[in-house]
Chain A
């Protein structure tokens, strides 16, 4: 199967700070998604981004498929951004990374 590695595993930010989360994958993929899992366990779709760059408010993502990585940028972080961020890729099935646990402190 495809290995999906996310870094850093844990991140603590002061409110208002910016951050970059990284997702590396071991093989060519057709699709890549970023999710935010809130404290209640709900996985919220952030981006569907097999390649290129997308922006949604304070969040943006870039996937460089040829180099097998994706980046999620969070700007002006807020306490509501806290939670776990997962990337998932599609090979012959969906493969999830181990996540980045983000805590934003006021």
Chain B
């Protein structure tokens, strides 16, 4: 496979469930990102990992827990979510994180999450 892949593509969960979103990049990049895109809203950056260390956490509730076991994989663990967390969750990767003379981001296809 090439590029950035995400699984599952669709997820429906109840508020008491625990689930995980998975992202994998095959581009040899060192930085990975989670974004949330709610209906009619711009993309919101949630977390940034660079070389497997979290470098950005944009005031995300603790019911979202990221994990980056290596530079190719990124997870988003979900527990006790609320209906307003229903959104498209997008993963991205780039060669480096933050300010850089070359830092193009590539996105996965997203996971469409519905919380009942």
Contacts and interface: CB of A to CB of B under 8 A. Distances in A.
Interface of A: 30-31, 33, 35, 40-43, 45, 48, 86, 88, 90-94, 96-99
Contacts of B102: 31
A45 B45 contact: no
Contacts of A91: 99
Nearest to A97: B42
B100 interface: yes
B88 A41 contact: yes
Contacts of B112: 41
A20 B56 CA distance: 34
A76 to B, nearest CB: 26
Contact of A99 (B42, B48, B106, B107): B42
Contact of B110 (A42, A48, A90, A93): A42
Contacts of B104: 31, 33, 45, 48
Given A41-B112, A97-B42, A90 B100 contact: yes
Contacts of B90: 41, 43
B19 to A, nearest CB: 18
A90 B112 CA distance: 26
A31 B42 contact: no
A30 B106 contact: no
Contact of A88 (B37, B48, B105): B105
B98 interface: yes
Contacts of A97: 42
Contact of B101 (A30, A42, A45): A30
A35 B99 contact: no
A23 B30 CA distance: 28
Nearest 6 Cβ contacts at the A-B interface: A43-B107, A96-B43, A41-B110, A48-B104, A98-B42, A42-B109
B105 A40 contact: no
A98 B42 CA distance: 5
Contacts of B99: 30, 90-92
A88 B44 CA distance: 12
Contacts of B49: none
